[in-house]
């Protein structure tokens, strides 16, 4: 489902790249959660890309379509109505400005907690006394996606041969888990309308970054725009698939695996043909959780590549940085010379 809103006419940011990336990459790792080799494929994908696609995920399609429909209703509202759910501090409705450190993009968004009651209160001002449809769709979706994320983390643990099986998933299942949910809408980009793909410029919808949490679960409509960075610094475009999910390794998971898994740098480019709607669950640990490489992942005399930190400390550091900054750089151990 795609809808059209009035294009933005403000200044744009441009992607820094030596060539215009237009071809969709067909080599994205694919994992079928119903297959017995899924845990090995997940580990391989996390080591090589920090990113993979999930099929046969078990999330009811009705949950997906209901939330997308509610998101479209919200983003189709007049700006004055949407702003009742803002300003983002950091939760709430935001438009173009991403965070408080100068990052901008062709995106409007809702950043929400995964706490049911908190979200209901926020949307009373937007939907009057009847936020139930939006909140019901939101809660059903988050519950199902969280369950899938935990299943994936347990398959990771099995693939890494570490015990207990829930060593990672328990961080998301904890009642104090600091997890978030984001709805993004990328309107048509007026600067790209009428241009061929060969002459179009790479206009930023959401700037390059890694996710600070443990795991991110992304789903979008069938509009292209998502790109990931490979180890050599080149960018590849991810073919959209509205029936599947994409998984990002986050910075915290990179640390927990002592760098064996790499958090994936990614970005979204604006589209001149169709608007894009995406939904992302960010699975995070409790604020007090200490993040350090798991001993069960370390081999023999292997040393930790990172200083121990709490999720609160890392979150605070991430919030004070720009999107493209190497946030983990502040916590890396300097090897003795």
Task: Show which residues are catalytic.
Answer: 276
The DSSP code for 160 is: H
The DSSP code for 178 is: -
Give start and end residues of each alpha helix (H) in the chain: 38-48, 61-75, 79-82, 116-127, 132-160, 169-173, 251-256, 311-319
From residue 158, alpha-carbon distances to 36, 138, 164, 169 in Å are: 12, 30, 9, 12
- Rounded to whole angstroms, the Cα distance separating 10 from 63 reads 35
Instruction: Report helix, strand or coil for 119.
Output: helix
Residues with Cβ within 8 Å of residue 175, at least 6 apart in sequence: none
- Rounded to whole angstroms, the Cα distance separating 14 from 111 reads 24
Nearest partner of 107 among 221, 222, 187, judged by Cα:
187
Q: How many helices (H) and strands (E) does the chain have?
A: 8, 14
**Phi-psi category of residue 44: left, alpha or beta, with phi > 0 → left and psi -120 to 50 → alpha:** alpha
Tell me, rounded to whole angstroms, the distance of Cα 62 from its chain centroid. 21
- Rounded to whole angstroms, the Cα distance separating 80 from 327 reads 35
Contact 152, 42 (CB under 8 A): yes
Instruction: Report helix, strand or coil for 66.
Output: helix
Going by their DSSP bridges, the two strands 103-113 and 92-98 should be labelled as antiparallel
């Amino acid at each position: 489902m795609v809808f059209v809103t009035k294009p933005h006419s403000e200044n744009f940011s441009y992607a820094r790249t030596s060539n215009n990336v237009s071809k969709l990459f067909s080599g994205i790792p694919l994992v079928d959660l119903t297959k017995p080799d899924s845990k090995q494929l997940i580990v391989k994908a996390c080591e090589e890309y920090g990113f993979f696609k999930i099929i046969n995920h078990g999330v009811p399609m009705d949950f997906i379509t209901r939330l997308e429909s509610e998101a479209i209703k919200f983003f189709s509202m007049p700006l004055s109505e949407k702003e009742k759910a803002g300003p983002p501090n950091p939760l709430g409705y935001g438009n173009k400005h991403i965070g408080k450190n100068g990052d901008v993009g062709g995106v409007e968004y809702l950043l929400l907690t995964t706490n049911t009651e908190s979200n209901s209160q926020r949307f009373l001002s937007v939907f009057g006394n009847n936020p139930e449809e939006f909140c019901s769709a939101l809660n059903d979706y988050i519950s199902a996606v969280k369950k899938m994320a935990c299943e994936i983390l347990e398959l990771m643990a099995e693939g890494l041969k570490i015990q207990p099986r829930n060593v990672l998933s328990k961080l998301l299942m904890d009642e104090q888990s600091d997890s978030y949910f984001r709805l993004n809408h990328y309107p048509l980009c007026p600067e790209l309308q009428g241009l061929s793909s060969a002459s179009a410029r790479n206009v930023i919808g959401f700037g390059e970054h890694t996710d600070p949490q443990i795991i991110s679960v992304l789903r979008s409509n069938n509009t292209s725009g998502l790109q990931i960075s490979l180890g050599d610094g080149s960018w590849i475009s991810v073919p959209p698939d509205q029936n599947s999910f994409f998984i990002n390794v986050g910075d915290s998971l990179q640390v927990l695996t002592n760098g064996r898994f790499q958090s994936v740098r990614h970005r979204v480019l604006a589209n001149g043909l169709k608007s894009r709607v995406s939904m992302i669950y960010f699975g995070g640990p409790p604020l007090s959780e200490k993040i350090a490489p798991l001993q069960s992942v370390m081999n023999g005399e292997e040393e930790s590549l990172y200083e121990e930190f709490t999720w609160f400390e890392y979150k605070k550091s991430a919030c004070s940085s720009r999107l493209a900054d190497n946030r983990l750089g502040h916590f890396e151990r300097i090897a003795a010379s």
